[in-house]
Structure 1
Amino acid sequence: MSFLMDSHACVGWGGEMAERIRAFDWASTDLGAIDTWSKSLCTNVQMLLASPVPLVMLWDHPGYMIYNDAYAIFAGGRHPYLLGTPVELGWPEVADFNRNIVDVCLAGGTLSYAKKELELLRNGKPESVWLDLHYSPVCDDHGKPAGVIAIVVEITAQVVSEQQRSEAEAAFRAADERLQLALNAGALLGSFVWDVAKDQLSGDERFARTFSYPLDQPLDNLPIASANAVIHPDDLPRVNRLIQYTLKQGGPYNAEYRIRRPDGEYLWVQASGRCEFDDTGKPLRFPGLIFDIHERKVAEESLLQLTHTLEQRVAAEVQARSDVEARLRQAQKLEAIGGLTGGVAHDFNNLLQVIASNLHLLARQEPDNTNVQRRLSSALAAVDKGAKLSSQLLAFARQQPLSPAVYSLTSLYDGLGEVLPRALGEMIQIDLQLTAEPWSVHLDRNQLENALLNLALNARDAMHGEGTIQIHANNVVLDEAFCEGKEIKAGEYVHLCVADTGSGMDTEVLGHAFEPFFTTKPNGHGTGLGLSMVFGFVKQSGGHIEMTSQPGEGTTVHLYFPRSTLAENPRPAVATGNEETRTGGEIILVVEDNADVRCTVDELLQQLGYTVLLAANGDAAMDVLQSGAHVDLIFTDVVMPGTVKSADLAAWAKLQTPAIPVLFTSGHTRDIISRNHQLTPDIHLLSKPYGPQALVDMLKLALA
């Protein structure tokens, strides 16, 4: 065909790219082997190879890339991969842009772009480049557009230079504006020039006044020593270091320091300047300005002080929160232990009741057998010890029945003055101090006396039997901050404190002190229930307890009880005499879910002369009562299964005419018959385990 060139048509092409084009396997593309190329294609290739401007030709609809040496440099690391590659594959990051160009130019259009910004991958990483681009169609031998010739002129360096120049001009304008603002605001305190070679300082009048030079001192010869003399001694070493650094390293000089004014006060200033060097790098001149920054520095120091104060407050708040969380965790742990302890004590008391009742029944069957009576007495003594242990557990669990009354601490102190010397021994000195007019409290007096005795005995042991124990009481008003996290409300409290001069405790031991069975005493010298019992009693009474101690510095226990504004109750007389008393044969309904306890109580009551009716739970008891049976007293366990509870029986009995008295019994009361286990005068409770005499006494009291 006439428009095809012969096989030697491309021989005249010169340059590296010409060799690569000739060597490329064009037969693998739609262009076909190079010796079949059209005349127009060869002519255009020859033209672009001869151009010093980066040119690339995109041939046919895929846009096969043929380019010159200048474009190869522009392509960077993508050369020579781009040769013979469709443009969309060669530059995938701008594929849409190039596809539009090919489509427009093959349709006969042209395109031009000035300062076109593109992000290209030329050397393995994306970079922003700016280009002037011109695209024109290239026709085949028939005059139809068959490709695109692209002129690519990179102007990235020019654009970046313009940007840098623009940024520099903006920075200069900003600096100039700041300088003008400083001059207009009166913040400029003068200008200076230090001739470094001559070591001579000169300045304007404002500079001379700022550094307190004499009025007759020539401004072109200001002694440097005079300026240094008014700089604050704490700041001068730093100023000299900054000056020396600028003389050696160049760059801007900025120093903030204080200068002494004629009235003796110090003024904060900022010195700014720059050192000028000769061709050999030797410093020549050091011009600069002095600015007044006193108000800013004062404000900064005030802010710093405020920040420091806020940091201290935040640290205090964080520590307070941490302390509250620690107390809460300790309270939750003791609450969980208390719940477990109360349940164990309940079951333990039922067992003790069965044992005690059977022992008493055996004692009645063998009244003349000395050996049997001796063994039974020993067994009953063990039961009493078990009952005391159970009582201590219930005290810690805040489940012991309390009989509170209102009284002043004056009478309590009178009693302690008699009891404590006998209990503690002659080597212990007791320092009892009471405020002149102590407030009243609403407490179970016996339990408080036991608590103080326990604390005093612990203090004696900590001092190894010799020393002074202080028991002080006073009126206090606790605020919200103190009460936070302590389960008490702010208000008026009576404060009791028991302090010793013993060995003290470290932090770890102190953290476990109120836990049941925890003790530092040798085996056999303590149960570890004394402090836990005190803890439970105080909490059950609505108060707060805490302990402070340091190794070698003794221990102090603080007790806080809410003030009572009610009138003081007279202390009831203590009954004397412990002889068993026979009864008049009253009919008693025994309601007990534990079969062993029910059986032994039945037999014990019958031996005491009572007529007994039995019920295994509240439902059965209600059936007996509603059947018309005559009952003189209901003797019921507190905690039972079934729908009818012991409180329901008591409520029903109270409504009868006449009312039927009720005597409760339990290993612990939980919260069924009393609020916080504090008994009201109309509630009679016999705690398990109990003996015949205690049972008779309570029955007579309830029947009275």
Structure 2
Amino acid sequence: MQFLSEHFGCEGWRGEMSARIRAFDWSVTELGPLQHWPTSLRMAVQFLLASPVPLVMLWGRHGYMIYNDAYSVFAGGRHPYLLGSPVELGWPEVADFNRNVVDTCLAGGTLSYRNKELVLLRSGVPEDVWMDLYYSPVPGDDGSPAGVMAIVVETSAHVLSERAREQAEAAFRTTNERLQMALNTGAVLGSFVWDVQLDFLSGDERFARTFAYPAPYDLNRLPSGIAMQRVHEDDRGRVRALIDEAVRDGGPYTAEYRVRHGQGEQYRWVLASGRCDYDDQGRPLRFPGVLIDIHERKVAESALVQLTRDLEQRVEQEVRARSEAEERLRQSQKLEAIGGLTGGVAHDFNNVLQVIAGNLHLLARQQRDNPGVQQRVAAAITAVERGAKLSSQLLAFARRQQLSPAVYNLRRLSDGLGELLARALGETVRVSMQVPDQPWCIHVDRNQLENAVLNLVINARDAMNGEGVIAISADNLVLGAEFCAGKEIQPGDYVRLSVRDHGVGMAPATLAKAFEPFFTTKPDGHGTGLGLSMVFGFVKQSAGYVDILSTEGQGTTVQMYFPRSEAAEAQEEQAPPPRLLQGEETILVVEDDDQVRITAAELLEQSGYRVVTAENGDVAMRFLLDGLRVDLIFTDVVMPGQVKSADLAAWAQARTPPLPVLFASGHTRDIISRNNQLAPHQHLLRKPYSPDALTAMVRQVLQAST
């Protein structure tokens, strides 16, 4: 697990497969133990686990299978037995196909298949399935292909839908052919002749029954108005226009329309065909025609149209959902890459700030009676604190900050923020806060939550040009699978905390970059671009989800979703009484940065402590094994050499009594646990630290160990 924490950054992992990969005994495979895996394999597994798309990697000539949560769903009953298994043993029914895939990609080739048909065993029964398959080689540390990355998307439902559509079209053609045969064999609803001059119809009994003429009417003198009244009102205008056109131009008359069936509101489709006859002077005389039943054909046509529309809609929805999932994956990968970079930069930046801050404090102590020096040192320390705040925001975005979460009820939000918001917003901005009478509890770091809300409110104030109402609201929600699809959040109970303004809003291009660090729409000097980045990192590190809804000219709503906590609300602890900051114990300072080590040692010596220094863990362990007796180890987290800070801490905890250890770091990714909390025996001092913070923490750790 230490290996995964150091190399995979597993504190950000979610899902079943990350735990299964850690628990699997890889030493029984050719891959060997986790700690011996090549860098290329580790990076490929990190990418695979972060993807919402079903991915499986086949490593080595045997194709040992490593896959993500989405693929485990596809695998069905074979999961989790596929993990670590050669692909030909895991899927024996398609062994030849997979052997060709592995051979091709290890030779540097790629393969792709659209709607590939395979026969797979599901629940022990052979089943035809169709899939979109994409295979690409994964390079090893030497650059040559060492494995295969496979994207597996089952398209069986789509293929079967297309086949159903083809069958429906075939059924329609068959129905149409039968209709033509019926027309030739008597599927006629009657014949008629229209006397154009006298405007009377003559027809047979079937025609009279179709239009429901009462019995007293003579079949040779049927009023045309009764027939027209039986035609559906939506069709009458079109029928009259076709009749007038046929009489005027002399062409054939063909009209499909609905006729009321019986005394109710049901209608049947008919086809009327005929042609107008004229006298020697070209005047219209008679209009003979025939009435044909086409109701079944029209019903079939309507069903086909509806089926086509449904299929098109389903295909459109699937394409849109896939595009959205791919876009979310690209955005997530981009933010992860930026987070890794900013976290490393913040770590190195904190070391630089620590050297500057330490020497400034030492200078201030040496020149206590020099007002000019004190003034300049105070200004420089203020600048260092601003730099430390920027670094803290970068670490929040990278999800590498230390959190102190506790069970929290949002009813207390106004108590912690009311006065602060009033000072930050001024008199022209009003805050409306709505919280349910009984909001669910959440497990968060209260200070970080209040800081996130403050950042959002300040952004809202600026978006409204310093005037208007900002709405803060909380809701208890039960999120379903449909909402959570592709959002890196699991269905369940959540508390949604929203901050809404009615400001200028954001364009789509701006919205896509809103969470990126240093991106800001504010003028130079009016913002760092880290506020939303900090909110994003804090919410993600708290196992939540954050979303932004914004429309230009209408405003912006930022929604933070936090998982519900069933535990009891934490009670606020009273601040402990001030402790003596001086001491006379012996402290071993382990730090690879010379300047940081020198300033830390001098600060501790000025507080009365005896100090021994070591430039890395190897030297520190040699001192301890040679008999050096110390009361506390004060060590940086990340150091060169064979002996790491975690090894020193483990050795110290194994002593009787245990030797206390105080860590110092620019960020905590190497010692922080997956739930963002330090272990009970671990203590952390974040860089850059002041002399008072150093001596206070040293005193606290020493007293806690007694």
- For normalisation by structure 2, the TM-score amounts to 0.67
Cα distance in 1 for residues equivalent to 2:249 and 2:678: 88
Residue number in structure 2 paired with 1:642: 641
Question: CA 1:265–1:587 in structure 2 vs 1: closer, same or farther (change >3 Å)?
Answer: same
Amino acid at match of 1:192: F
Alignment of 1:36-75 (within 5 A): none
Preserved contact between residue 671 and residue 677 of structure 1 (Cα < 8 Å)? no
Preserved contact between residue 271 and residue 293 of structure 2 (Cα < 8 Å)? no
Alignment of 1:595-634 (within 5 A): 595-634=594-633
Amino acid at match of 1:326: E
Question: CA 1:254–1:627 in structure 2 vs 1: closer, same or farther (change >3 Å)?
Answer: farther
Query: 489-498 vs 259-268, which deviates more?
Result: 259-268
Residue number in structure 1 paired with 2:663: 664
Q: CA deviation at 1:424?
A: 2.5
Q: How many residues align?
A: 526
Residue number in structure 1 paired with 2:513: 512
Preserved contact between residue 591 and residue 616 of structure 2 (Cα < 8 Å)? yes
Cα distance in 2 for residues equivalent to 1:401 and 1:408: 21
Cα distance in 1 for residues equivalent to 2:652 and 2:286: 111
Alignment of 1:64-463 (within 5 A): 177-179=181-183, 183=186, 187-193=187-193, 201-239=201-239, 254-261=254-261, 263=263, 265=265, 267-271=267-271, 273=273, 275=275, 288-298=289-299, 300-301=301-302, 304-305=305-306, 307-308=308-309, 311-312=312-313, 314-463=315-464
**CA-to-aligned-CA distance 1:175-209 (integer Å, 9 cap, x gap):** 9853465x3xxx43212356889987543211122
Q: Gapped runs of 5+ residues in structure 2?
A: 1-176
Helix, strand or coil: the match of 2:433? Answer: strand
Cα distance in 2 for residues equivalent to 1:568 and 1:295: 67
Cα distance in 1 for residues equivalent to 2:409 and 2:195: 90
Preserved contact between residue 544 and residue 561 of structure 2 (Cα < 8 Å)? yes
Helix, strand or coil: the match of 2:256? Answer: strand
Query: 646-655 vs 311-320, which deviates more?
Result: 311-320
Query: 264-273 vs 601-610, which deviates more?
Result: 264-273
Question: CA 1:557–1:190 in structure 2 vs 1: closer, same or farther (change >3 Å)?
Answer: same
Residue number in structure 2 paired with 1:480: 481
Amino acid at match of 2:473: H
Query: 349-358 vs 668-677, which deviates more?
Result: 668-677
**CA-to-aligned-CA distance 1:103-152 (integer Å, 9 cap, x gap):** xxxxxxxxxxxxxxxxxxxxxxxxxxxxxxxxxxxxxxxxxxxxxxxxxx
Q: CA deviation at 1:280?
A: 11
Preserved contact between residue 345 and residue 668 of structure 1 (Cα < 8 Å)? yes
Cα distance in 2 for residues equivalent to 1:367 and 1:551: 56
Helix, strand or coil: the match of 1:235? Answer: helix
Larger Rg: 1
Residue number in structure 1 paired with 2:689: 690
**CA-to-aligned-CA distance 1:333-369 (integer Å, 9 cap, x gap):** 2222211111111111111111111222222322222
Question: CA 1:694–1:580 in structure 2 vs 1: closer, same or farther (change >3 Å)?
Answer: farther
Question: CA 1:698–1:280 in structure 2 vs 1: closer, same or farther (change >3 Å)?
Answer: farther
Amino acid at match of 2:623: V
Residue number in structure 1 paired with 2:112: none
Preserved contact between residue 270 and residue 295 of structure 2 (Cα < 8 Å)? no
Preserved contact between residue 548 and residue 557 of structure 1 (Cα < 8 Å)? yes
Helix, strand or coil: the match of 1:698? Answer: helix
Cα distance in 2 for residues equivalent to 1:511 and 1:661: 47
Cα distance in 1 for residues equivalent to 2:663 and 2:365: 25
Helix, strand or coil: the match of 2:234? Answer: coil
Q: CA deviation at 1:487?
A: 1.4
Residue number in structure 1 paired with 2:500: 499
Cα distance in 1 for residues equivalent to 2:577 and 2:504: 42
Helix, strand or coil: the match of 2:611? Answer: strand
Q: CA deviation at 1:314?
A: 4.8
Query: 227-236 vs 350-359, which deviates more?
Result: 227-236
Cα distance in 1 for residues equivalent to 2:342 and 2:675: 16
- Higher-RCO chain (CA-CA 8 Å, sequence separation at least 6): 2
Query: 693-702 vs 508-517, which deviates more?
Result: 508-517
Q: CA deviation at 1:399?
A: 1.1
Amino acid at match of 1:265: E
Cα distance in 1 for residues equivalent to 2:443 and 2:681: 18
Preserved contact between residue 199 and residue 223 of structure 2 (Cα < 8 Å)? no
Question: CA 1:671–1:291 in structure 2 vs 1: closer, same or farther (change >3 Å)?
Answer: farther
Cα distance in 1 for residues equivalent to 2:607 and 2:312: 75
Q: CA deviation at 1:412?
A: 3.3
Preserved contact between residue 580 and residue 699 of structure 2 (Cα < 8 Å)? no
**CA-to-aligned-CA distance 1:454-504 (integer Å, 9 cap, x gap):** 222222223333332222223221111222222111111122122233333
Preserved contact between residue 254 and residue 270 of structure 1 (Cα < 8 Å)? no
Preserved contact between residue 662 and residue 701 of structure 2 (Cα < 8 Å)? yes
Query: 305-314 vs 655-664, which deviates more?
Result: 305-314
Q: Percent identity?
A: 61
Residue number in structure 2 paired with 1:5: none
Cα distance in 1 for residues equivalent to 2:556 and 2:183: 69
- For normalisation by structure 1, the TM-score amounts to 0.68
Cα distance in 1 for residues equivalent to 2:272 and 2:505: 63
Helix, strand or coil: the match of 1:234? Answer: helix
Q: Over aligned residues, Cα RMSD in angstroms?
A: 3.3
Cα distance in 2 for residues equivalent to 1:360 and 1:273: 103
Preserved contact between residue 516 and residue 533 of structure 2 (Cα < 8 Å)? yes
Amino acid at match of 2:258: R
Cα distance in 2 for residues equivalent to 1:279 and 1:438: 88
Preserved contact between residue 661 and residue 703 of structure 1 (Cα < 8 Å)? yes
Cα distance in 2 for residues equivalent to 1:572 and 1:499: 32
Cα distance in 2 for residues equivalent to 1:452 and 1:197: 85
Cα distance in 2 for residues equivalent to 1:498 and 1:275: 72
Q: CA deviation at 1:662?
A: 0.9
Q: CA deviation at 1:405?
A: 1.4
Residue number in structure 2 paired with 1:157: none
Amino acid at match of 2:609: Y
Question: CA 1:312–1:698 in structure 2 vs 1: closer, same or farther (change >3 Å)?
Answer: same
Amino acid at match of 1:648: D
Preserved contact between residue 256 and residue 268 of structure 1 (Cα < 8 Å)? no
Residue number in structure 1 paired with 2:34: none
Preserved contact between residue 275 and residue 284 of structure 1 (Cα < 8 Å)? no
Cα distance in 1 for residues equivalent to 2:450 and 2:570: 17
Q: CA deviation at 1:699?
A: 0.8
Cα distance in 1 for residues equivalent to 2:223 and 2:567: 87
Amino acid at match of 2:426: G
Question: CA 1:659–1:241 in structure 2 vs 1: closer, same or farther (change >3 Å)?
Answer: same
Cα distance in 1 for residues equivalent to 2:604 and 2:297: 93
Residue number in structure 2 paired with 1:161: none
Residue number in structure 2 paired with 1:464: 465
Q: CA deviation at 1:307?
A: 4.7
Cα distance in 1 for residues equivalent to 2:286 and 2:622: 116
Cα distance in 2 for residues equivalent to 1:404 and 1:526: 28
Cα distance in 2 for residues equivalent to 1:177 and 1:486: 57
Residue number in structure 1 paired with 2:40: none
Cα distance in 1 for residues equivalent to 2:316 and 2:498: 30
